[in-house]
Amino acid sequence: MSLSSATEAIRSQVGANSGLGATVKFDLGADGAVYIDGASSPNAVTNDNKDADCTVSCSLETLEALVAGDLDPTAAFMQGKIKVQGDMSVAMRLSSVL
């Protein structure tokens, strides 16, 4: 999976109104970023690398597994596959979206 296909998959899951009410950035290091603006109407998903209420750092491979439902977000956090900075409550709400 590429950054663009991961972005598209997240975009389809977020939809026009995710109920997130906040911004989230997936920081994929050298692979780029996926930015979810869940505070705008309609919600937007881009590859902008800008500040967010919550930043989730992980590999593109880990993001793919999360989006596909093959990896539980809590398990990924406990295993150290994802790191969360910023508002943890936003990260918790994110799991209901993805």
pLDDT tens track, the chain, 98 positions: 799 999 999 999 999 999 999 999 999 999 999 999 999 999 999 999 999 999 999 999 999 999 999 999 999 999 999 999 999 999 989 888 87
Tell me if 93 is assigned to some domain: no
Tell me if 92 is assigned to some domain: no
Residue 38 domain boundaries: 3-87
Tell me if 96 is assigned to some domain: no
Tell me if 31 is assigned to some domain: yes
Tell me if 80 is assigned to some domain: yes
Task: Name the domain count of the chain.
Answer: 1
Domain CATH for 17: 3.30.1050.10
Tell me if 95 is assigned to some domain: no
What burial letters (b/e) apply to 48-76, b meaning 16+ CB within 10 Å?
eeeebbbbbbbebebbbbbbeeebebeeb
Query: What's the CA gap between 61 and 68, in Å, rounded?
Result: 11
- Each residue of 22-39: pLDDT tens digit? 999 999 999 999 999 999
Give the global pTM.
Answer: 0.94
End-to-end CA distance of the chain: 16
How many residues does this entry show for the chain? 98
Query: What's the CA gap between 34 and 63, in Å, rounded?
Result: 10
Residues of the chain with pLDDT > 90: what percent? Answer: 91
